[in-house]
C-alpha cells in the first residue's frame, strides 16, 4: 500500500518521428514550502523506457515533510551508448499522490534537449508576463523560429522552407490518404483504358455502377433550375449570392426580355419584395487560362419563386455587354440554357477550388498558424486553445504545393487555368478578404444582405454557420475571460502582440487584411478583439473548411453538374445545341477520372470531429469546463440539424458537428 508521500510519475512520450530517447532522465521536485527532493534518476530497471507514444510509470518516495509539488526540474544526459536519440519529446507528465490518488498534470509538449534543465509547472498555462520562467520561454520561441523557417517567393503566400517533424502526418493518417487515393485509381483503371471521350450522357451515369464507386446524388437532377439555384446556397461555394437592390448596369437584362419568365411580375416588384438575387464572379476578371481553353467571368440573376426555391432567370457569361455576350434565359433552347449553366458552374468551380477552398482556408490559415508557432509559447493559453485546430494544416499545404499546385500538376491538368493564374487568383482573394468582417459570419451575411431567413429561406449553410460561430465564440469568450482580467492584460501580452503584428498587413512578410492596427502595425487593444480573432481562426479551420471541402465529390463527381473545365469554345450565341454539344464540352474520360480520384480523396474525413480533440492541450481545471460546455453545445446543434434534415428532401449535413474535423487536415 502506498504511503501519502509516495508519488507515481507518469510520462507520455510523443508519437512523432524521433520522439523516443535512451538518454538518462533526471528530475528534482519542488514543493510549495520550498523543499526540494534529491536528484532522482527516472528509470525502470531492465525496461526500455520512453519509446514513441509510450506511457511510462515510475514510483518515487518523498520525505515526510514534502508538501504539494509546485515545480519539476527535468533534464537528460546522454547515455554511454546512444542507440536512439538524446533529444526527446514529452507530451505530458502527471503526478499521482499516494493513497489519495490526487493527480496534477504538467502539459509539456516540448522537445527536451540534452543537458538543458527545464522547469515544468502544474497545468503550464501562463501569459508571458506572468510566467515564472520567462528566460526559458523566450529561448524556446527562438528555437521555434529556427524550426519554422519561412520561405518568401514572389507571387506566392508565405511558405515553409521545410516541414518540421512535429507537423508531419502520423503513420496512420498517411496510410488513410494513400488507401483512399489508390482505391479510386484502381476502380477506375478499366474505364481509363477504354475510349477517350464520352458518347452520351448515360455513359457518365453508368460508370458508377460499373466501377462500384458512389454515385453522386446530383446525377438525378443536375440540370434542374432549382438545383442550380440550390448550389448557390448550399453547394461547394455558398458565399456568392447577394440580394439584388438594383439591376447591375453591366448586366444586359430588361423587362421585355425577362417578362415571359416572371409569370406576370416585374423586376422592380421582385426587388421591392426582396425576391431578386444575383451572383457576380467578377473576381475572375484578368485571370488567364491554358492555351486551347476558354474561361468566362459570369454574372447571373436569380429569383425566389413562390415555393421559396432560388431559380436562375438570366446568365451573362462575360462582364461587359456586347453582341457576342448575350443574356441567356430559361426560355432559350434547352441545350443552350444547359451549356450556359455549365459555363457559369465551371467559373464558379474555379472560384471555389482556388479562392474559397485553397486560398481562403488553407493558405489564409497558414499565415495565422506560422505566426502562432513563431511567436507564441506552448505555455500560452491562446496556443492551447488553437493547437487542436492546427493539426496537419502545414503538412497538407506543404505536400499539396509539391504535388498539386505546381506546373504540370494534377490540379492544373483538370482545370482551365494555369498554375500562375491560380496564384494570381489566390493573392487577389487574400487582398480582398477582411479578417474581422469576412471572417465573422454575421457580418459576412449582412454584407450580402442575405442574413434574414425570411428574405432567403433554405440557406442552410447560413443557418448552420451562424449557430456554429456563436458556439465557437461562446467557447473562446469564456476561455479568454479566465486568463485576461482586463484590457491591460491584453496590451501587455507581448507574445500576442507579436503574433498579430507578424500576420497583419504591412508586416515585412506581407500579411492579412482587417486585423486591428496601431501605429501602422498589427495590435490588439481589447479582449473583444482577441476573442474575435480566435473565434474566426477556429471557425475557419473547422466549419468554413468543412463547408467548402467535403461536398467536393458530390459536386464534382458528376462532371456535367459542376465541371472543372470545358473543352469547347465559350458560348457566344443562342444557336440551338444538342446533347452531343453538351458531351463535347465535358472533360474526357482521363480527366474525369482524375477529378473523381482527387475529389474522392479530398472528401475523406480522417480526423476527429469538432470538439473531440486528437490531443488534449487544456488541462487547467479552471478551463476544462469551457471545453465540456463547448462539446455540449455542439451536440445540441447537431441534434437540431438532424431534426431539421428529417424534413428535407435533400438533407444538408456537411455542417453537422460530427462531420466537421477540428482542423484543415485534408
Residue 345 DSSP code = H
* 109: Cβ contacts below 8 Å, ≥ 6 apart: 14, 90, 91, 92, 378, 387, 617
Q: Domain map of the chain by residue range?
A: 6-122, 139-222+359-566+584-665, 239-355
Residue 190: which pLDDT band, with cuts at 50, 70 and 90?
very low
Is the pLDDT at 604 greater than 90, yes or no? no
Indicate the SS3 state at residue 58. Answer: strand
How many Å apart are CA 371 and CA 393, to the nearest integer?
13
Contact predicate 552/603, CB 8 Å: yes
pLDDT at 139 over 50: yes
DSSP 237: -
Q: How far apart are CA 626 and CA 476, in angstroms?
A: 8
Residue 317 grid coordinates: 457569361
Q: Assign a CATH topology to domain 6-122.
A: Lipoxygenase-1 (2.60.60)
Predicted TM-score (pTM) of the model is: 0.95
Contact 14, 91 (CB under 8 A): yes
pLDDT of residue 193: 44
- Dihedral over Cα of 125, 131, 136, 142: its sign: positive
Residue 435 above 60 pLDDT? yes
> Sorting pLDDT into bands at 50, 70 and 90, what band is 400?
confident
pLDDT at 510 (0 to 100) = 67
Give the closest residue to 393 by CA, choosing from 496, 600, 540.
Answer: 540
Residues 92 and 38 sit within 8 Å (Cβ to Cβ): no
Q: Average pLDDT over the chain, rounded to whole?
A: 91
In this prediction, residue 517 has a pLDDT band, given cuts at 50, 70 and 90, of very high
3-state secondary structure of 146: helix
Domain 239-355 sits in CATH 3.40.50.300: no
- Cα atoms found within 13 Å of the Cα of residue 590, Cβ hemisphere only: 5
- 564 and 414 in contact (C-beta within 8 Å)? yes
> 530 near 652, Cβ under 8 Å?
no
Q: Dihedral of CA 357/280/300/411: which sign?
A: negative
Residue 501 has pLDDT above 60, yes or no: yes
Query: Alpha-carbon distance 594 to 268, whole Å?
Result: 46
Q: Determine the length of the chain.
A: 666
Q: How far apart are CA 560 and CA 227, in angstroms?
A: 13
- Give 1's pLDDT tier (boundaries 50, 70, 90): very low
pLDDT over threshold 80, residue 402: no
From the candidate CATH numbers 1.20.245.10, 3.40.50.880, 3.30.70.260, 1.20.1440.130, the one assigned to the domain spanning 139-222+359-566+584-665: 1.20.245.10
Other C-beta atoms closer than 10 Å to the C-beta of 562 total 27
Are the C-beta atoms of 134 and 493 separated by less than 8 Å?
no
Residue with cell 425566389: 304
Q: Which of 173-177, 193-197, 386-390 has the highest mean pLDDT?
A: 386-390
Q: Is the pLDDT of residue 191 over 90?
A: no
Give me the DSSP letters along 532-581. Answer: HHHHHHHHIIIIIHHHHHTTHHHHHTSTTTS-S---SPPP-S-----HHH
Mean pLDDT of 436-443: 98
Amino acid at each position: 500500500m502506498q504511503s501519502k508521500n509516495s508519488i507515481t510519475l507518469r510520462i507520455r512520450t510523443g508519437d512523432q518521428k524521433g520522439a523516443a530517447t535512451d538518454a538518462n532522465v533526471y528530475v528534482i521536485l519542488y514543493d510549495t514550502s520550498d523543499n526540494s527532493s534529491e536528484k532522482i534518476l527516472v528509470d525502470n530497471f531492465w525496461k526500455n523506457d520512453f519509446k514513441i507514444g509510450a506511457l511510462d510509470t515510475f514510483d518515487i518516495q518523498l520525505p515526510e515533510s514534502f508538501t504539494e509539488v509546485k515545480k519539476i526540474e527535468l533534464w537528460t544526459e546522454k547515455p554511454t551508448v546512444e542507440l536512439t536519440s538524446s533529444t526527446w519529446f514529452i507530451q505530458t507528465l502527471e503526478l499521482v499522490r499516494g493513497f489519495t490518488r490526487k493527480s496534477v498534470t504538467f502539459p509539456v509538449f516540448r522537445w527536451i534537449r540534452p543537458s538543458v534543465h527545464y522547469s515544468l509547472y502544474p497545468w503550464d498555462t501562463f501569459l508571458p508576463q506572468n510566467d515564472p520562467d520567462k528566460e526559458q520561454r523566450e529561448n524556446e520561441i527562438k528555437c521555434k523560429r529556427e524550426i519554422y523557417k519561412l520561405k518568401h517567393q514572389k507571387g506566392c503566400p508565405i511558405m515553409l522552407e521545410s516541414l518540421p517533424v512535429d507537423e508531419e502526418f502520423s503513420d496512420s493518417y498517411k496510410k488513410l490518404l494513400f488507401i483512399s487515393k489508390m482505391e479510386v485509381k484502381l476502380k477506375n483503371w478499366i474505364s481509363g483504358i477504354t475510349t477517350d471521350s464520352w458518347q452520351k450522357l448515360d455513359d457518365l451515369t453508368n460508370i458508377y455502377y460499373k466501377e462500384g464507386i458512389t454515385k453522386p446524388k446530383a446525377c438525378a437532377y443536375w440540370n434542374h433550375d432549382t438545383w442550380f439555384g440550390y448550389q448557390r446556397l448550399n453547394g461547394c461555394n455558398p458565399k456568392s449570392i447577394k440580394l439584388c437592390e438594383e439591376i447591375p448596369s453591366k448586366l444586359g437584362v430588361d423587362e421585355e426580355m425577362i417578362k415571359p419568365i416572371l409569370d406576370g411580375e416585374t423586376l422592380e416588384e421582385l426587388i421591392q419584395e426582396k425576391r431578386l438575387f444575383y451572383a457576380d464572379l467578377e473576381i475572375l476578371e484578368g485571370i488567364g487560362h491554358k492555351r486551347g481553353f476558354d474561361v468566362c467571368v459570369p454574372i447571373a440573376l436569380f429569383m425566389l419563386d413562390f415555393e421559396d426555391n432560388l431559380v436562375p432567370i438570366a446568365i451573362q457569361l462575360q462582364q461587359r455587354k456586347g453582341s457576342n455576350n448575350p443574356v441567356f434565359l430559361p426560355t432559350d433552347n434547352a441545350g443552350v440554357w444547359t451549356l450556359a449553366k455549365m459555363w457559369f458552374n465551371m467559373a464558379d468551380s474555379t472560384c471555389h477550388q482556388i479562392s474559397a477552398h485553397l486560398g481562403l482556408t488553407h493558405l489564409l490559415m497558414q499565415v495565422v498558424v506560422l505566426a502562432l508557432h513563431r511567436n507564441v509559447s506552448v505555455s500560452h493559453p491562446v496556443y492551447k486553445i488553437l493547437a487542436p485546430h492546427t493539426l496537419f494544416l502545414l503538412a497538407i499545404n506543404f505536400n499539396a504545393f509539391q504535388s498539386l499546385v505546381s506546373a504540370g500538376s494534377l490540379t492544373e491538368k483538370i482545370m482551365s487555368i494555369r498554375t500562375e493564374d491560380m496564384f494570381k487568383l489566390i493573392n487577389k482573394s487574400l487582398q480582398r478578404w477582411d479578417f474581422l468582417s469576412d471572417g465573422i459570419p454575421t457580418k459576412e451575411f449582412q454584407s450580402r444582405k442575405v442574413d434574414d431567413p425570411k428574405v432567403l429561406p433554405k440557406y442552410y449553410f447560413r443557418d448552420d454557420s451562424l449557430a456554429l460561430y456563436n458556439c465557437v465564440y461562446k467557447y473562446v469568450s469564456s476561455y479568454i475571460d479566465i486568463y485576461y482580467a482586463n484590457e491591460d492584460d491584453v496590451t501587455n501580452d507581448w507574445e500576442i502582440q507579436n503574433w498579430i503584428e507578424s500576420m497583419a498587413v504591412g508586416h515585412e512578410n506581407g500579411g492579412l487584411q482587417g486585423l486591428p492596427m496601431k501605429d501602422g502595425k498589427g495590435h490588439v487593444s481589447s479582449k473583444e478583439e482577441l476573442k474575435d480573432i480566435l473565434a474566426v481562426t477556429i471557425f475557419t479551420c473547422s466549419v468554413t473548411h468543412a463547408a467548402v471541402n467535403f461536398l467536393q465529390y458530390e459536386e464534382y463527381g458528376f462532371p456535367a453538374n459542376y465541371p472543372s473545365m470545358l473543352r469547347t469554345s465559350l458560348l457566344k450565341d443562342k444557336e440551338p445545341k444538342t446533347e452531343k454539344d453538351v458531351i463535347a464540352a465535358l472533360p474526357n474520360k482521363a480527366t474525369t477520372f482524375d477529378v473523381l480520384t482527387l475529389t474522392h480523396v479530398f472528401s475523406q474525413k480522417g480526423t476527429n470531429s469538432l470538439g473531440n480533440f486528437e490531443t488534449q492541450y487544456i488541462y487547467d481545471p479552471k478551463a476544462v469546463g469551457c471545453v465540456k460546455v463547448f462539446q455540449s453545445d455542439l451536440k445540441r446543434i447537431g441534434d437540431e440539424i438532424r431534426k431539421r434534415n428529417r424534413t428535407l428532401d435533400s438533407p444538408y449535413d456537411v455542417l453537422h458537428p460530427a462531420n466537421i474535423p477540428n482542423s484543415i487536415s485534408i
